[in-house]
């Protein structure tokens, strides 16, 4: 049932009609957060002047459905682009910006991995339905990009920042369920962002707090960490991790390493040619001020900078050093937009009931 709604490979052909604009008309290669539940006058003026590609919402921005929908409209109006992407991290479980009582809770991705241990086909179907239901919730308030699914493969002893956010410890299973989730999202009109490429599952630290360093040999990384991303390299968007892979480049995290980008992310180890967002500049894994961080992220080869904390002075500094999107990035973004499905009619209540029935198999 779930697979008939949208084929990523089929939909990719639609991208040929999209043509990037001239450099002067391309948005700035950055996605910004905002401070609160309403767009301030200073923020609106800054966004109008700096013209970021899009915006990202956090819990601080989300109170009620009507309020979020209004904020999203105001953000798009500030840049004069009704199709400007609005992102959110709505994975389910502990990573959810839209929460009860106004929005339904969704299970963490690890639940679908647990179901797969009982019934792989049921898990695929449930993951697709979950993606479709997430998309329904997001499109109701105007959000068009979900920073999900998590495609990391946790290992014993790793920091629990990933934990049950991951589908499991089998790279093939992770790729299988991540694809189902991504296709469910796209069938509902929302673009997925696979993360955290090239892999955060071995990290012994939380990159929000400090810089993780992974000591694993390249062979292990190729076989495990990179494998889900390699299998999903045809998907439209990915987020790059702030994690040092010592076997590839011991001098810098993946997000600021041209070596990792060239040899792994864009190279034969993974071969991803979609649009790349570097993870949030505000995270403590990165060194230096925000200008230094933004320059490093751009120089490494990321397409889009993320700055999420909503601090206006920092956003001004980032905008000073981040250029308009490159021609290649604009092409990738055009392809991504072409892969986003127009939502087909769906019985949301019936889908919820079906997912609940499937998840009951875990305890059967």
Beta strands (DSSP E) in 206-343 are 213-214, 237-240, 244-245, 275-278, 305-307
Question: What is the spatial distance between Cα 184 and Cα 117, in angstroms, rounded to a whole number?
Answer: 21
Tell me the C-alpha distance between 78 and 235, whole Å. 29
The mean per-residue pLDDT over the stretch 332-361 comes to: 94
Helices (H) and strands (E) in the chain, counts: 13, 12
Rounded to an integer, the average pLDDT of 139-143 is: 98
Judged against a pLDDT cut of 90, whether residue 211 lies above it is answered with no
Q: What is the pLDDT of residue 244?
A: 95
Ranges 21-30, 31-40, 175-184, 273-282: which has the least confidence: 21-30
- Look at residues 276, 274, 194, 191 and name the one whose alpha carbon lies nearest to residue 229: 194
263 pLDDT more than 50: yes
Among 42, 66, 208, 215, the one annotated catalytic: 208
208 is catalytic: yes
Distance in angstroms (rounded) separating the CA atoms of residues 188 and 139: 8
pLDDT tens by residue, 61-111: 999 999 999 999 999 999 999 999 999 999 999 999 999 999 999 999 999
Angle CA 267–271–272, to nearest 5: 120
Q: Residue 8 has what pLDDT?
A: 37
pLDDT(122) > 80: yes
Which domains are present in the chain?
A: 86-305+323-363 (3.20.20.300)
Q: What letter does residue 227 receive in the DSSP assignment? A: H
pLDDT of residue 343: 86
Instruction: Give the distance from CA 117 to its chain's centroid.
Output: 26
Check pLDDT > 90 for residue 143.
yes
Instruction: Among 23-27, 100-104, 336-340, name the most confident range.
Output: 100-104
- Please, what is the Cα angle at 192 between 62 and 11, to 5 degrees? 135
The one catalytic residue in 279, 280, 303, 307 is 279
The pLDDT of residue 296 is above 60: yes
Under 8 Å between Cβ of 181 and 174: no
Q: How confident is the model at residue 345 (pLDDT cuts 50, 70, 90)?
A: confident
**Stretch 278-287: mean pLDDT:** 91
Q: Report the b/e string of 294-332 with b at 16+ CB within 10 A.
A: bbbbbebbbbbbbbbbbeeebbebbbeebebbbeebbbb
Question: Contact at 8 Å (CB) between 113 and 123?
Answer: yes
Looking at residue 24, its pLDDT comes to 63
Closest CA to 261 of 3, 272, 54: 272
| pLDDT band with cut points at 50, 70 and 90 for residue 9 | very low
Average pLDDT over residues 143-162: 92
């Amino acid at each position: 049932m779930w697979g008939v709604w949208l084929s990523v490979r089929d939909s990719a052909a639609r991208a040929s009609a999209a043509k990037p604009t001239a450099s002067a008309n391309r948005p700035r290669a950055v996605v910004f957060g905002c401070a609160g539940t309403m767009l301030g006058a200073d923020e609106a003026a800054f966004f109008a002047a700096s013209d970021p590609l899009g915006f990202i919402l956090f819990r601080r921005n989300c109170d009620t459905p009507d309020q979020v929908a209004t904020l999203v409209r105001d953000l798009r109006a500030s840049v004069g682009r009704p199709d400007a992407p609005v992102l959110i991290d709505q994975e389910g479980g502990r990573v959810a910006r839209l929460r009860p009582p106004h929005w339904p809770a969704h299970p963490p991705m690890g639940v679908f991995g647990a179901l797969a241990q009982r019934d792989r086909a049921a898990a695929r179907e449930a993951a697709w339905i979950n993606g479709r239901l997430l998309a329904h919730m997001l499109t109701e308030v105007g959000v068009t990009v979900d920073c999900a699914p998590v495609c990391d493969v946790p290992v014993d002893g790793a920091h629990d920042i990933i934990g049950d956010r991951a589908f499991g410890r089998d790279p093939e299973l992770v790729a299988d369920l991540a694809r189902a989730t991504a296709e469910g999202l796209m069938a509902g009109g929302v673009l997925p962002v696979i993360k955290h490429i090239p892999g955060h599952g071995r990290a012994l630290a939380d990159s929000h707090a400090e810089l993780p360093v992974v000591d694993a040999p390249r062979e292990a990384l190729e076989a495990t960490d990179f494998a889900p991303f390699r299998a999903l390299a045809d998907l439209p968007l990915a987020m790059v991790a702030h994690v040092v892979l010592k076997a590839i480049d011991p001098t810098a995290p993946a997000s600021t390493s041209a070596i990792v980008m060239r040899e792994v992310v864009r190279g034969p180890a993974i071969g991803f040619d979609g649009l790349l967002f570097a993870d949030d500049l505000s995270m403590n894994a990165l060194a230096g001020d925000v200008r230094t961080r933004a320059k490093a992220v751009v120089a490494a080869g990321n397409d889009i900078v993320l700055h999420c904390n909503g601090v206006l002075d920092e956003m001004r500094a980032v905008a000073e050093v981040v250029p308009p999107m490159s021609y290649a990035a604009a092409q990738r973004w055009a392809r991504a937009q072409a892969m986003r499905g127009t939502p087909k009619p769906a019985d949301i209540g019936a889908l919820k009931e079906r997912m609940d029935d499937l998840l009951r198999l875990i305890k059967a």
